[in-house]
Amino acid sequence: VYASGIFTGGNSVKGNITVLAGAGTMAAMNDLKASFEEKNPGTTVNIQYGNSAELFSMLDTQKSADAVVPGDLTFMDNAKNKGYMINDTIKPIVYHIPVIAVQKGNPKNITNISDLSQSGLKVALGDTNGTAVGKQSIKILNKTGNLEAVKSNVVVYAPTVNQLMTYLTSGQVDVAIVTEDIATTGEAQGKIDVIQIPENQNSIATIGIGLTVFTQNKDTATKFEDFITSSEGLAIWQKHGFKPVNQ
């Protein structure tokens, strides 16, 4: 037992936990899961991905997840109102920053949000009810006074930010409002250009984590939360294009 403590760090945890996570966090969360499991032999982190509406539906139906990592912390409000969260475990982690993504070389010469109202442009947005990025997009378009003009150019509302990138990189749309992190993924490299949205026009969400009242393994869930919010965990988030809240 003593020797085992030396090799596992002395305070490793065991057992399975289930985490519900926003689809846009998939690459980072898969890395975080692998690193955590390596540090804690005998532990398995099962991650179920979906948009914000799907995550809430899963939590509402299954009532069995240990932790939730949604693409927007405001998701927690619905879950808290239902009494599903251990409120003092909710922590912000990184920012979810919308950007404009266009075809490589920017053939439509898009430079700002107003340009998304150009005649004949094919625009993709995230689902405005189910996805964090969809809700953010509506807020941005309202702020800039372009909502109705841009909506007439929308050819698809995607169920996840990942699907938005697929529509764009496959050439099915000219432009999409996505998040900065997803625009840095391998799938996007060399296929798109990114245009930043000024902060005063943007609607920046915060990705966070919280433990649920349904957890059957609070020790492991707490250890996982501590890890993905630690400096080591934040370095993994940053590798995937996310900006930590506290930096």
Task: Please indicate, yes or no, whether residues 89 and 107 belong to a single structural domain of this protein.
Answer: no
The residue out of 157, 175, 196 marking a domain boundary is 196
* Domain housing 126: 98-196
pLDDT score at 5: 33
The model's confidence at residue 4, banded by pLDDT at 50, 70 and 90, is: very low
pLDDT at 2 over 60: no
Which one is predicted more confidently, 28 or 6? 28
pLDDT score at 18: 98
Which CATH number covers residue 50? Answer: 3.40.190.10
Task: Please indicate, yes or no, whether residues 10 and 21 belong to a single structural domain of this protein.
Answer: yes
Structure tokens at 53: 């509406």
Sequence-ordered list of residues with C-beta below 8 angstroms from that of 206, at least 6 positions apart, any chain = 72, 73, 92, 93, 94, 95, 96, 245
Our count of domains for the chain comes to 2
Task: Please indicate, yes or no, whether residues 105 and 186 belong to a single structural domain of this protein.
Answer: yes
- Cα dist from 165 to 34, 173, 192, 226, 233, whole Å: 25, 10, 9, 31, 25
The model's confidence at residue 162, banded by pLDDT at 50, 70 and 90, is: confident
pTM of the model as a whole? 0.85
Task: Please indicate, yes or no, whether residues 83 and 153 belong to a single structural domain of this protein.
Answer: no
pLDDT in tens, 122-161: 999 999 988 889 999 999 999 999 999 999 999 999 998 8
* Percent of the chain whose pLDDT exceeds 70: 95
Residue 191 to residue 105: CA distance in whole angstroms: 9
The model's confidence at residue 12, banded by pLDDT at 50, 70 and 90, is: low
Degrees to nearest 5, angle at CA 246 with 206 and 16:
65
Please indicate, yes or no, if residue 201 is contained in any of the structural domains: no
The mean pLDDT value for 186-204 works out to 91
Average pLDDT in the chain: 92
Task: Please indicate, yes or no, whether residues 102 and 144 belong to a single structural domain of this protein.
Answer: yes
* Percent of the chain whose pLDDT exceeds 90: 80
